[in-house]
């Protein structure tokens, strides 16, 4: 996808538009050193960890990067795409970009095929944002739509994608014009796609969940206290999806997963909720992860394996992990809608 076909020098910077899909990132392998490189890049980002550097540096380098790579490598190995030798998030993001590119090529989005180019990148790891931006510019794109693949805005996700993109532009003599896609946590196309996908997946089950958890990635409570809108946007997504499905608050609940460190994070916590539900009489559970547009470690391993085990060990009987939208028809309808809306006026 990023190896776009060259164009002649006479048409360079010739008015083409680039669409750059960006997701979080993945390690290049499951071995210790690959995991260490990835974790160091990720956990060194001041948007992700706001702890003062004098405190965080020794914790990160002397403790976390000594112990965590091996454990996370084992987790990644359990879900690794062995055929491509890469993490599922990389596989899914590539597939989303390729599907978008195909839709443009066949004209289903109404764009001239020769006008719009598509690339994809990872905020941490490869392919890098810098590589993708330079590739798009070299192939005639003087305008780029940056699409952080996060429905809900957070400084630790959406903002750090923008930080990196503008850092790349700051080194360029001739900068392409950059437009950033707006968060789409409450957009009808997104909510309708989630509801359609959820209905389809529930129809495949041999049981009816008594409770469905909408589990979003967690965030330190302190970040929200400083003004991050993430928690409010997650709740709005949950409310709109609940209404679309016709559930009550008790049937369709909000939780937050993947907390890290001793600080208080957004509550209620997914793992603690899952462990407690069987004792409250809930024996059949499903979990959907609306904040993730593609399946990854946090959805496949943390929800599908770790939290499944918590639930069954606590006395639960039936458990289902609802897949992310990925490159499904429902998932791509969201990306198509987003790109068409954000390119208005450019195409």
Tens-digit pLDDT profile for residues 115-142: 999 999 999 999 999 999 999 999 999 9
- Residue 125, domain member (yes or no): no
- Residue 16, domain member (yes or no): no
CA-to-CA dists, residue 141 to 17, 82, 175, angstroms: 5, 34, 10
Residue range 154-166, pLDDT digits in tens: 999 999 999 999 9
- Residue 100, domain member (yes or no): no
pTM of the model: 0.94
Beta bridge partners of 271: none
Q: How far apart are CA 146 and CA 177, in angstroms?
A: 10
- Residue 270, domain member (yes or no): yes
| Confidence band, pLDDT 50/70/90 cuts, at residue 153 | very high
| Confidence band, pLDDT 50/70/90 cuts, at residue 9 | very low
- Residue 299, domain member (yes or no): yes
Domain count within the chain:
2
| Confidence band, pLDDT 50/70/90 cuts, at residue 281 | very high
Last residue of some domain: 21, 45, 79? 79
Burial of 69 (0-12, 13-18, 19+ CB in 10 A): buried
Q: How far apart are CA 157 and CA 148, in angstroms?
A: 8
DSSP 119: E
Is pLDDT of 293 > 90? yes
Q: Are residues 194 and 317 in the same domain?
A: yes
- Residue 87, domain member (yes or no): no
Q: Are 40 and 124 in contact (CB under 8 A)?
A: no
Q: How far apart are CA 93 and CA 74, in angstroms?
A: 22
Is pLDDT of 235 > 50? yes
Last residue of some domain: 79, 113, 135? 79
Q: What percent of the chain has pLDDT over 70?
A: 96
Is pLDDT of 54 > 80? yes
Is pLDDT of 1 > 90? no
- Residue 13, domain member (yes or no): no
Domain containing 227 — which CATH number? Answer: 3.40.50.1400
Is pLDDT of 311 > 80? yes
- Residue 169, domain member (yes or no): no
| Confidence band, pLDDT 50/70/90 cuts, at residue 69 | very high
Over range 236-245, report the average pLDDT. Answer: 98
Number of residues assigned to the chain: 347
Give the residue among 228, 37, 2 at the shortest CA–CA distance from 136.
Answer: 2
- Segments forming the whole domain that contains residue 271: 188-321
| Confidence band, pLDDT 50/70/90 cuts, at residue 113 | confident
Task: Give the model's pLDDT for residue 14.
Answer: 67
């Amino acid at each position: 996808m990023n190896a776009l076909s060259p164009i002649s020098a006479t048409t360079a910077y010739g008015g083409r538009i680039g669409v750059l899909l960006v997701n979080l990132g993945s390690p290049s392998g499951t071995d210790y050193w690959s995991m260490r490189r990835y974790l160091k890049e990720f956990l060194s980002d001041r948007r992700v960890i706001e702890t003062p550097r004098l405190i965080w540096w020794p914790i990160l380098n002397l403790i976390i990067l000594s112990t965590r790579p091996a454990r996370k490598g084992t987790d990644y190995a359990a879900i690794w795409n062995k055929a491509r030798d890469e993490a599922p998030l990389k596989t899914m993001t590539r597939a989303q970009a390729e599907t978008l590119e195909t839709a443009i090529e066949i004209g289903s989005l109404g764009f001239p095929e020769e006008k719009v180019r598509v690339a994809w990148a990872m905020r941490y790891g490869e392919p890098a944002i810098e590589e993708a931006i330079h590739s798009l510019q070299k192939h005639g794109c003087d305008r780029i739509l940056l699409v952080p693949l996060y429905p809900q805005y957070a400084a630790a996700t959406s903002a750090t994608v923008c930080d990196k993109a503008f850092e790349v532009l700051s080194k360029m003599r001739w900068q392409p014009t950059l437009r950033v896609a707006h968060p789409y946590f409450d957009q009808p196309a997104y909510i309708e796609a989630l509801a359609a996908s959820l209905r389809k997946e529930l129809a495949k089950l041999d049981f009816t969940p008594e409770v469905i958890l909408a589990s979003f990635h967690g965030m330190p409570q302190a970040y929200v206290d400083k003004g991050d809108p993430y928690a409010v946007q997650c709740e709005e997504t949950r409310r709109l999806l609940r209404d679309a499905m016709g559930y009550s608050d008790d049937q369709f609940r909000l939780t937050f997963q993947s907390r890290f460190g001793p600080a208080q994070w957004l509550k209620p916590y997914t793992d603690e909720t899952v462990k407690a539900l069987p004792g409250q009489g809930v024996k059949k559970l499903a979990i959907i992860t609306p904040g993730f547009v593609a399946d990854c470690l946090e959805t496949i391993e943390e929800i599908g394996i770790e939290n499944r085990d918590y639930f069954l060990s606590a006395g639960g009987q039936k458990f289902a992990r609802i897949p992310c939208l990925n490159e499904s028809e429902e998932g791509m309808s969201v990306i198509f809608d987003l790109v068409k809306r954000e390119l208005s006026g450019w195409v």
